[in-house]
Structure 1
Amino acid sequence: MRYLIYLLPLMFFITACGGGSSEQEQQAESTATEAQSSADQSSDVRTIEITGVDQMKFVVEGEAEGITIGDPVAGGMPLLETITASPGEEIRIVLTTESDLPASAMAHNFVLMTMEADVQAFVNAASKARDNEYIPSDMSDQIIAHTDLAAGGETVEVTFTAPEETGEYEFICSFPGHYAAGMKGILKVE
């Protein structure tokens, strides 16, 4: 207690002297500049916001350039069917899961498969890869890009470059049962 009497004035003195130096201010400005530079670089990346819902579907807010939508699913949000991209185009997928269920019962990811992938074999192997977020490590050669799993209220993202080869590339959710329920779509590179 006796030390507290000496400690309080010392703390007041340290804080009253400004606490920050011009070096710290320069570092803060540098960090802000780097963040802005990063934001400027990512502005060339097309971002597609997707929602994973309890009905085991990918949905979007509505129509947007470069996507094809289907009938409304959850809360009137339309089903995401197709994403169209140019060869070599950079795309960012931002996936948010809307669910009140526990993560062990309902979580979603976005997995973009290669054109040659055996999607059904991948899905079968994924169901046994719980410890690796349902991504079978021995089949990584069949994946172009993927997100982590997102439970209810969580958001994950991945940025990738569309393949140079034109064609159709399937994207799926690899959480058990979701692909079979229709949680899939096509990236059409043309």
Structure 2
Amino acid sequence: MTRFAPYLFSLMLLFVTACGGGSDDQQQTETQESQTTAQQADDGVRTIEIVGIDRMKFVVEGDEDGISTGDTMGDYVLLESITAEPGEEIRIRLTTESTLPASAMAHNFVLLVMDADATAFANAAARAKDNEYIPADMEDQIIAHTDMAAGGETVEVTFTAPEEAGDYEFICSFPGHYSGGMAGTLTVE
């Protein structure tokens, strides 16, 4: 029986691990992730969940306070505008749904200053591949932006809405997406 003891011990260890005896590190990581999610939900920042789709559009799951939507786009509705109060803190969480490679389809969220020329910005962005399609010489025209998100990725940015009432355009700066209609308006009122 003693010559089988090492095998029996290994078998018991495998059984305990397979039956939920996860490591303390794994349990601690899961607890930290749960706490982070709960903290984000309780931090008082209005979070808007946006999805970037292959049709080069910003979409949301449905109507909610403070956003205006348009046509139905599959399981989503087109995001047309966001309304904010002056100085309101807003978090944009953008998820890209795509099976295409990142070089062909990725999205970001770029909020421009009120008097920015979005077309000129998008044209310059198309030449700024090495800077995630953010033209370095036009960064003074940006209020906030996310990184690029490829299919299955989520990025976010938290910013304070401008104090000055008016319309501020937001776009995706990936080449061709702004001209394809991937844009909307943040209305501060």
TM-score, normalised on structure 1? 0.79
Report the number of matched residues.
Answer: 157
**Deviations 1:130-172, CA, capped at 9 Å, x for gaps:** 0000000110000000000000000000000000000000000
Partner of 1:47: 47
Give the distance between the partners of 1:167 and 1:120, measured in 2 at CA.
Answer: 19
Give the equivalent residue in structure 2 for 1:84.
83
Amino acid at match of 2:187: K
**After the TM superposition, which segments of 4 or more aligned residues of structure 1 sit over 3 Å from their partners?**
none
User: Hey, what does 2:59 align to over in structure 1?
Assistant: 59
User: 5+ residue gaps in structure 1?
Assistant: 1-27
User: Structure 2 vs 1, CA of residues 42 and 119 (structure 1 numbering), >3 Å: closer, same or farther?
Assistant: farther
- Which digits, 9 at most, give the CA deviation of each residue in 1:58-107, with x for residues without a partner? 0000000000000012x231000010000000000000000000000000
Q: Which residues of 2 match residues 135-146 of structure 1 at below 5 A? A: 135-146=134-145
What is the 5 A alignment of 1:30-179? 39=39, 43-73=43-73, 75-179=74-178
Deviation at residue 39 of structure 1 after TM alignment? 1.8
Please give the alpha-carbon distance, in whole angstroms, between the structure 2 residues aligned to 1:87 and 1:42: 21
What's the offset of the Cα at 1:41?
9.1
How large is the Cα RMSD of the aligned pairs? 1.8
Identity %: 70
Residue 182 (str. 1) matches residue 172 (str. 2): no
* Ranges in structure 2 where 5+ consecutive residues have no aligned partner: 1-27
Shift of the alpha carbon at 1:121?
A: 1.1
The DSSP-based 3-state class of the residue aligned with 1:141 is: helix
Go from structure 1 to structure 2 and tell me whether the alpha carbon gap of 1:41 and 1:99 turns closer, same or farther (over 3 Å shift).
closer
Supply the distance in 2 between the matched residues of 1:89 and 1:165 (Cα, whole angstroms): 12
